[in-house]
Amino acid sequence: MSGWKWEKLWPYQAVVAVDARDFSSLPSRGMQQVNQDIRSLLSVAMSSIGLSSSWEQRSFGQHTGDGYVAGVDPEYLPALVGCFPGALYELLCEHSRPDGHPLQLRVSVHVGPLPDSGLGVPMVETHRLLDDENLRRLLNRANPRFTPVAMIISERAHEDVFSSGQPTGGAGPEEFEHHLVRVKAFEKSAWVHIPGLDWQLADPKLLLPELPTPQKTSSQSPSVAGKDSNDVVFNNHGGENIAQGYRMNFQHFGNQVRNIDDLRGERR
């Protein structure tokens, strides 16, 4: 008799996570209101795309401070990927935060085996997608009234939806831009969708990491332009051959002195 032991794979869940941009700028009361608003907006958006009952039966639904996360039946992935971002977009265009500023949301969608608690690798990866710094920067650059939502979905969710050929009722594959997400030790392919954005017209650098800003060098007068930084420079003023100021690199000067001493030693 064999001693093989095995367990069934946890049921697949489509994981939906949402975060609010600039949440920390709100006072405590405003944070509480936005937290409640997000849950209400999600319910209305799900209802508008025909997922009201599925959303009511969601798994491991929980607040995340500045957002919300839950699991739904993966057979509804076409609606989550195709219709959900557009439904949220319409709602957010008419919604404001308690301070009067527009509410911007980042949304991530992933799929994988998860227990009822929601604790597992797919849950962690869903939040890694949401935390992508390039996605954050993209939303920061956008006008919140025109771009209130940005969605990022995993490679697995993208493949399952668009390789199936099932109609999504909304966004198609051409409305998603491929993106490599790097957060901590996580590095995986994903796809980004911005409702209303034509990626064929967008700046190809839109999702690339931000390059470091070059440090500004101190301005030099025309008389010293092109000089080596180690040169001793005298500036003339008013045509008079009188040194009004100078700058020198003392390390270079010290090297010159040592070189002279070495030459003297050789001559001896």
In a domain, 216, yes or no: no
- pLDDT of 237 reads 40
pLDDT mean values, one per 10 residues, the chain (268 residues): 86 96 92 94 97 95 93 97 97 93 96 95 96 93 94 97 94 95 94 94 82 56 43 40 38 44 45
pLDDT per position as a tens digit, 130-140: 999 999 999 99
- pLDDT of 212 reads 62
In a domain, 201, yes or no: no
- pLDDT of 223 reads 44
Residue 21 shares a structural domain with residue 149: yes
In a domain, 243, yes or no: yes
- pLDDT of 213 reads 60
Tell me the helix, strand and coil percentages in the chain, rounded to 5.
35, 20, 40
Token pair in block for residue 151: 């969605």
In a domain, 199, yes or no: no
Q: What angle in degrees, to the nearest 10, is found between the helix axes of 84-92 and 28-48?
A: 130
- pLDDT of 57 reads 95
| Domain containing residue 109 | 12-193
Token pair in block for residue 223: 């008389």
Query: How many domains, in total, are found in the chain?
Result: 2
Residue 46 shares a structural domain with residue 114: yes
Residue 178 shares a structural domain with residue 130: yes
Please state, as a whole number, how many other Cβ atoms lie within 10 Å of the Cβ of residue 92.
Answer: 21
Residue 32 shares a structural domain with residue 143: yes
Q: Is 122 helix (H, G, I), strand (E, B) or coil?
A: helix
In a domain, 203, yes or no: no
- pLDDT of 204 reads 77
Q: Is 51 helix (H, G, I), strand (E, B) or coil?
A: coil
Token pair in block for residue 185: 């030790």
| CATH assignment at residue 68 | 3.30.70.1230
Residue 263 shares a structural domain with residue 144: no
Residue 129 shares a structural domain with residue 229: no
Residue 189 shares a structural domain with residue 227: no
Answer positive or negative: Cα dihedral of 29, 42, 153, 8: positive
Residue 88 shares a structural domain with residue 180: yes
- pLDDT of 260 reads 43
